Structure 1
Amino acid sequence: MRLRKTLLSGLVSVIFLSGCSLLNSEDEMAVLSPLPKVTNQFTPDKMWSVSVGSGVAGYYSRLHPTWQGSSIFAADRKGLVQAMEVNSGKQIWRVNLAEKTHFLGNDRSAMLSGGLTVADSHLYVGSEEARVYALNTSDGKLVWQSAVAGEVLSRPVVSDDLLLIHTSNGMLQALNRADGTIKWTLNLDMPLLSLRGESTPTVAMGAAIVGGDNGRVSAVMIEQGQLIWQQHISQITGATEIDRLSDVDMSPVVVEGIVYALAYNGNLTALDLRSGQILWQREMGSVDDFIVNMGRIYLVDQNDRIMALQSNGGVTVWNQSDLLHRNLTSPAMYNNYLVVGDSKGYLHWLNKEDGRFVAQQQVDSSGFLSTPLVVDNKLIIQSKNGTVYAFTGIPD
């Protein structure tokens, strides 16, 4: 039984796609924290903003921009894909994949999801209709489209001549990058009940490291599609179905032979890359991607606490809890700052050394879901209504 994850007043809630509910009217909704008062130490300058279709509208989606060289690539859920110049936002090309989805008919949305990936001369994107598309980065021409095992809710990942796809029904597939043919498929298993979202694989030492809806992290040999090891980082506990959710939906991070992973209602865990052996664990949960940098882990937990932890042992360095339940994006690192967006369209800048707020600005009333992107000393972020913004003027 598959669940849709929606963000309501900061609470990560789940709703059956069939219509039945896990929540009743007596359940208390989490209260959105009031906006903290911040004295801006600097004000980022908006270089440009460009509308790219209708965004993701009211859907929970990890669709987000990417970049290569001097080009930014962004898309909306309906199927519009656009390339823009990074310095000006000027359109380079625009295509509509809804018109290319012949098996659905031209009047249907392409239902793009999971984010864009660019490598060499190809741009890749998946869809909720179990399709993967490859476009030419120079002109947007469709190179190929391929049917896969299920909804593509995470970002495609390139490994040499293969494209790795993690589908919503727990399948990890490797596609030939040249023509989209499927080389292998591995069933990673999934529980009856899970959040709507999938882990993007991380490539390291010839293996794909990927989280699963069953609370496991798996290492898979990329060339053959063979399982190397699996490790539980979340044990099923709790009295309610929501308490028992244990999805590992974030992308594992690999640094110096250590895999860092985080589960919803689970643990932040460090594992040995070669064996999968647990090195240390700390109880906390999230579904968002995090940063490992210079001996620290920077993350947003499931209650929207922003935290810095030591990467050796998980000891808390600082904890910023003034943005609870504001539905924060995953963090990005820009010079000496962390930046997150929230559901009300604010960008929040924090000193990465101590977690103090250093700047705050409202950008877009539709709010943010996608992770900010740092490109050529610029901050790029796409709002839920599809507008892509570029900011500069952030001090070192």
Structure 2
Amino acid sequence: MKLRRIFCVGLLSVTMLSGCSLFGGDDDAVKMSPLPKVENQFSPKKMWSSSVGNGIGEYYSHLRPTWQDGRIYAAARDGVVKAMDADSGKQIWKTDLTDKTGFFSSSKSPMLSGGVTAANGHLFIGSENAVVYSLNSEDGAVAWRTIVGGEAMSRPVVSNGVVLIHTTNGLLQALNEADGSIKWTANLGMPLLSLRGESSPAVAHGAALVGGDNGRVNAVLLEQGQLIWQQSISQPSGATEIDRLADVDSSPVIVGNAVYAQSYNGSFVALDLRSGQLMWQREMGSVNDFVIEGDRVYLVDQDDRVAALSLNGGTILWKQNDLLHRGLTPAALFNGYVVVGDSEGYLHWMDSNNGQFVAQNKVDSDGFLSAPLAAGDRLVIQARGGDVYSFSR
């Protein structure tokens, strides 16, 4: 159950939760679906694996590798950042961001958490210590580091000379790409209770679109940080605060003149890019990022159903229900397949046309949390323990 995992691993700063007792006893626990039996139509081939620090361990963190110019860049929560050759997995360079002076944090670990972004010859990564780092992608040297307004758990987004950071206290900040200085700060608002995790922005036509913990999608002017519009995409209901959680933690996707977004305990929606007005919605909540290709949306909902929706109207084209509550990663598209990892370390490969299983392979006993990455003709995924794997079809 994703809600149980999110709260138990990353507790809310505004609420005292003791042992997750608010979820009830064992009788209330949601049971993981058994591993589906799959007759493999092909065997995914492991090309290489490489260890990157200690990974994320049991923490709730969506650290995920990125890919650019024939290199895979990956990081671990303990501060290790590595560049690897995409074909061989061979290490090109390795950097340790541990702050030995204690200047930026009293903690020895930098607690990297915000995903890895590669852009314009640099890597950008945030941390739970409210520090954002810029590294030279050629050799891993630190170009700058900046203290931001809160935990930087979302993936940094680079556009028009700024690095956008969405922090866990509801701030969207724009940092100067060259030196890390803070250009502007927009306050998106925060509810009393929220899930652990934040939406990364999407950028188009001079605006940043980002989800908020209050169930809204926000459009912010990229140059000044001025709010253009806000649109609620969730109508929370229920007897408890838990039932009424409505975070928009998945990252919006912009296609043409539409913004697509999804909320927890809410809906998948299409909004007009200019006005924020609702175009259509489908009741299907999640905190996972989703993938759009052609006229289809591929997503994993909050109960670990994998589904494909029509981009025109949200019609459900297929739904795969055999992985319920297996702690799935967000989906990736790779060579015509929808691929997800699970908490037990399996990769599940589905036909993108109908959702039927075509392959399954056990990869890592530590399990997965972050999404697989399609890197050219390779599928790359990082396990909780820090090992990075590369597969070919």
Please indicate the TM-score interval, normalised by the length of the shorter structure. over 0.9
Q: Is the 8 A contact 1:6 1:59 kept in 2?
A: no
In structure 1, the partner of 2:308 is: 308
In structure 2, the partner of 1:321 is: 321
Q: How does 1:8-87 map to 2 (within 5 A)?
A: 15-17=11-13, 18-20=16-18, 21=20, 22-25=22-25, 28-87=28-87
Q: Is the 8 A contact 1:5 1:14 kept in 2?
A: no
Residue 16 of structure 1 deviates from its aligned partner by 4.4
In structure 2, the partner of 1:197 is: 197
1:131 aligns with 2:110: no
1:251 aligns with 2:251: yes
Q: Give the Cα–Cα distance (whole angstroms) in 2 for the partners of residues 254 and 289 of structure 1.
A: 13
Residue 107 of structure 1 deviates from its aligned partner by 6.7
Report SS of the residue matched to 1:238: coil
Report SS of the residue matched to 1:99: coil
Q: Is the 8 A contact 1:5 1:15 kept in 2?
A: no
In structure 1, the partner of 2:238 is: 238
Residue 284 of structure 1 deviates from its aligned partner by 1.5
Report SS of the residue matched to 1:7: helix
Q: Is the 8 A contact 2:55 2:75 kept in 1?
A: yes
In structure 2, the partner of 1:150 is: 150
The CA RMSD measured in Å over matched residues stands at 1.8
Q: Give the Cα–Cα distance (whole angstroms) in 2 for the partners of residues 320 and 271 of structure 1.
A: 26
In structure 1, the partner of 2:214 is: 214
Q: Which residue identity does 1:160 align to in structure 2? A: N
Residue 25 of structure 1 deviates from its aligned partner by 2.3
Q: Is the 8 A contact 1:111 1:128 kept in 2?
A: yes
Unaligned stretches of 5+ residues in structure 1? none
Q: Is the 8 A contact 1:185 1:225 kept in 2?
A: yes
The C-alpha deviation readout for 1:332-386, integer Å capped at 9, x for no partner, is 0012111000000000000000000000000000000111011121000000000
Q: Which residue identity does 1:153 align to in structure 2? A: M
In structure 1, the partner of 2:356 is: 356
Q: Which runs of 4+ in 1 moved over 4 A?
A: 11-17, 104-107
Q: Percent same amino acid among aligned pairs?
A: 59
Q: Which residue identity does 1:363 align to in structure 2? A: V
Residue 331 of structure 1 deviates from its aligned partner by 0.5
Q: Give the Cα–Cα distance (whole angstroms) in 2 for the partners of residues 113 and 101 of structure 1.
A: 20
Q: Give the Cα–Cα distance (whole angstroms) in 2 for the partners of residues 97 and 19 of structure 1.
A: 31
The C-alpha deviation readout for 1:288-336, integer Å capped at 9, x for no partner, is 0111112111110000000011111111111100000001111100121
Q: Give the Cα–Cα distance (whole angstroms) in 2 for the partners of residues 41 and 151 of structure 1.
A: 43
CA 238–5 in structure 1, closer or farther in 2 if over 3 Å, else same: closer
Q: Give the Cα–Cα distance (whole angstroms) in 1 for the partners of residues 112 and 267 of structure 2.
A: 31
Q: Which residue identity does 1:37 align to in structure 2? A: K
Residue 6 of structure 1 deviates from its aligned partner by 5.4
Q: Is the 8 A contact 1:73 1:81 kept in 2?
A: yes
Q: Is the 8 A contact 1:5 1:13 kept in 2?
A: no
Residue 173 of structure 1 deviates from its aligned partner by 0.3
Unaligned stretches of 5+ residues in structure 2? none
TM-score using structure 2 length: 0.95
Q: Is the 8 A contact 1:260 1:268 kept in 2?
A: yes
Q: Give the Cα–Cα distance (whole angstroms) in 2 for the partners of residues 136 and 368 of structure 1.
A: 28
Q: Which residue identity does 1:232 align to in structure 2? A: S
Q: Give the Cα–Cα distance (whole angstroms) in 1 for the partners of residues 235 and 105 of structure 2.
A: 44
Q: Give the Cα–Cα distance (whole angstroms) in 2 for the partners of residues 102 and 233 of structure 1.
A: 42
Q: Is the 8 A contact 2:298 2:307 kept in 1?
A: yes
